[in-house]
């Protein structure tokens, strides 16, 4: 039986670990807050107290943690790079900086490990329903070796290039989502100002070239002023820092992406960081002198 | 039999007039360039030399012309308002300024006419396949009276409010499309700079929250550098002038829409006005110091 050490059992990681256990893997969960291993243990998995305890027994180590420094810590500080057996496959599902992903993969290779960056899109519903989109960077042989792991948690699973490429595509994904969200928010505030029939307008907009996954999933939240997350502005702000820095590094101009990054930062500055990213609507309303109740 | 005078038999108007003729209406086509009535006549319709000749016989007058001044001219200058019988239903399929649409509807009402603004989305394929999205402003009774006309040319047909509301929704549509297009262009230039597998990246982006009609229909054109129109940058630039002016009038801030309007204008200034609006890609490339062959 293949043993997976799964580090980071949060909103995304917990249902992913449960799907892997149910798919026939032997999953050992490790989390800073030990109570979060409960769902995995209930599904027949195991819980471990530390990386040092769980990782030496694992054939595969999976990570799902919030940000680049978290991945660095989990790998380097009495972490996965010290405790994994040679040949272990490390799959990082976190969304982090592409350059750091490539650097860590090289470091893992020096230790005789194999590493894939495999950030996901689809949010909590995607994790719960095992329908995540997974964009994978690393060696083709390692991508193939991980096929059963990806199939247990995702639906659209694509190898996009060498180490870091998965994170690069995720960065582009977050740029598109943020800009499409801002466009939708501006359109809805504009239409509300003119008093058109909003549900009818959203229906007809969704039927043409203005249609999008963002419109389908988020227009209703904007019309209802319901910004419960979902995916938090704080995290999307982190991701826009990654994409604008990576674009700058490559000498690529991303004016709409940079604007969205500024407006996402403004949303945080106005105390909306804990809201769903559809809360960009509140920023457009504020800019237009419209102040809704939270 | 219901007679329709159809004014403006261009890329959009000609197939729409043909669909109406085939649906059982008696259609009289009027066009500045008389040869453009050929397809309608071949389908069993008639051609007239002027508005003065055709409109007095019509129960319904349909318009599909490029811009606000064209609609004003067709209505006011020895036009529809002078020659239509009282009770005639005027349906303006053109995309024009919402304030002018409302003003003209009021003027039509004074003359005993009924007027709907009914701009469409879906482009030439939508006109040819009779699958247009139609966003309609005007009186509910007039919207219902026009049901058979709309059904002959469209698929998603929605009444969104009083006179001008159709144009307001069309303006919002054009804002969303332009901003989504710019986001896609920036993402693709960014991904190309990092050398990821582009078709694979587009597939996985399309499967998640970054998915959109713009991505489905335009990513391939950007990857192939094929910017044959389609919908021309010149016309989208005109529409962004409408939405930014209407937003300003309403006191609504549309920062991403305004940025897209600037970048669309820059595309024209660089000689790209005749390209498909996916040609925004070329602007992002230029900003990034990348110069492709046309």
* pLDDT profile of chain B (294 residues), mean per 10: 97 97 98 94 97 96 96 96 97 97 98 98 91 97 98 97 98 98 98 97 94 96 95 96 97 98 98 97 97 65
pLDDT per position as a tens digit, A187-215: 999 999 999 999 999 999 998 899 999 99
User: With helix as H, strand as E and coil as C, how does chain B read?
Assistant: CCEEEEECCCCCHHHHHHHHHHCCCEEEEECCCHHHHHHHHHCCCEECCCHHHHHHHCCEEEECCCCHHHHHHHHHCCCHHHHCCCCCEEEECCCCCHHHHHHHHHHHHHCCCEEEECCEECHHHHHHCCCEEEEEECCHHHHHHCHHHHHHHEEEEEEEECCCHHHHHHHHHHHHHHHHHHHHHHHHHHHHHCCCCHHHHHHHHHCCCCCEHHHHHHHHHHHHCCCCCCCEHHHHHHHHHHHHHHHHHHCCCCHHHHHHHHHHHHHHHCCCCCCEHHHHHHHHHHHCCCCCCC
Give the CATH class of A3-161.
alpha beta
Q: Do B169-287 and B3-161 have the same topology in CATH?
A: no
Test mutation, B136, B198, B256, chain A, max A CBs within 10 A = B256
What is the structure's pLDDT at B64?
97
Mean pLDDT, rounded, for A41-59: 96
A294 vs A135: which has the higher pLDDT:
A135
Supply the pLDDT for residue B230.
84
* Range with the poorest average pLDDT among A136-140, A227-231, A277-281: A227-231
ipTM score of complex: 0.94
Calculate how close chain B gets to A150, using CA atoms only, in Å: 14
Retrieve residue A169's tokens. 């595509």
B288 with A253: Cβ contact below 8 A:
yes
Any catalytic annotation for residue B170?
A: yes
Chain A residue whose CA is closest to B202: A169
Stated pTM of the model: 0.94
- Cβ contact A256–B259 (<8 Å): yes
- The answer on pLDDT for A264 being more than 60 is yes
Q: What is the pLDDT of residue A54?
A: 95
Q: Residue A286: what pLDDT?
A: 97
User: What pLDDT score does B291 carry?
Assistant: 80
Instruction: Locate the domains of chain B by residue range.
Output: 3-161, 169-287
CATH of the domain spanning B169-287: 1.10.1040.10
Q: Choosing from B36, B170, B218, B221, which is the catalytic residue?
A: B170
């Amino acid at each position: 039986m293949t043993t997976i050490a799964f580090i980071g059992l949060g909103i995304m990681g917990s249902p992913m670990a449960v799907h892997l256990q149910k798919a026939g893997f032997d999953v050992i969960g490790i989390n800073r807050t030990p109570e979060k291993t409960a769902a995995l243990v209930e599904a027949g998995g195991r819980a471990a107290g530390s990386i040092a305890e769980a990782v030496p027994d694992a054939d595969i180590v999976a990570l799902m943690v919030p940000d680049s420094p978290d991945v660095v810590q989990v790998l380097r500080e009495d972490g996965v790079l010290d405790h994994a057996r040679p040949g272990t496959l490390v799959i990082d599902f976190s969304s982090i900086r592409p350059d750091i992903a490539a650097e860590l993969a090289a470091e893992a290779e020096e230790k005789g490990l194999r590493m894939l960056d495999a950030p996901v899109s689809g949010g909590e519903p995607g994790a719960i329903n095992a329908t995540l989109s997974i964009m994978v960077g690393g060696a083709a042989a390692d991508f193939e070796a991980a096929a059963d792991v990806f199939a247990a948690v995702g639906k659209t699973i694509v190898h996009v290039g060498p180490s870091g490429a998965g994170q690069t595509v995720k960065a582009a994904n977050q740029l598109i989502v943020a800009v499409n969200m801002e466009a939708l928010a501006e359109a809805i505030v504009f239409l509300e100002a003119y008093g058109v029939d909003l549900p009818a307008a959203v229906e007809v907009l969704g039927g043409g070239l203005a249609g999008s996954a963002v419109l389908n999933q988020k227009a209703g939240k904007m019309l209802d002023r319901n910004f419960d997350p979902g995916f938090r502005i704080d995290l999307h702000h982190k991701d826009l820092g990654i994409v604008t820095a990576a674009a700058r590094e490559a000498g690529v101009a991303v004016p709409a992406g940079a604007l969205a990054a500024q407006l996402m930062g403004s949303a945080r500055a106005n105390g909306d960081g804990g809201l769903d990213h559809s809360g960009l609507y509140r920023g457009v309303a504020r800019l237009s002198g419209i102040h809704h109740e939270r």
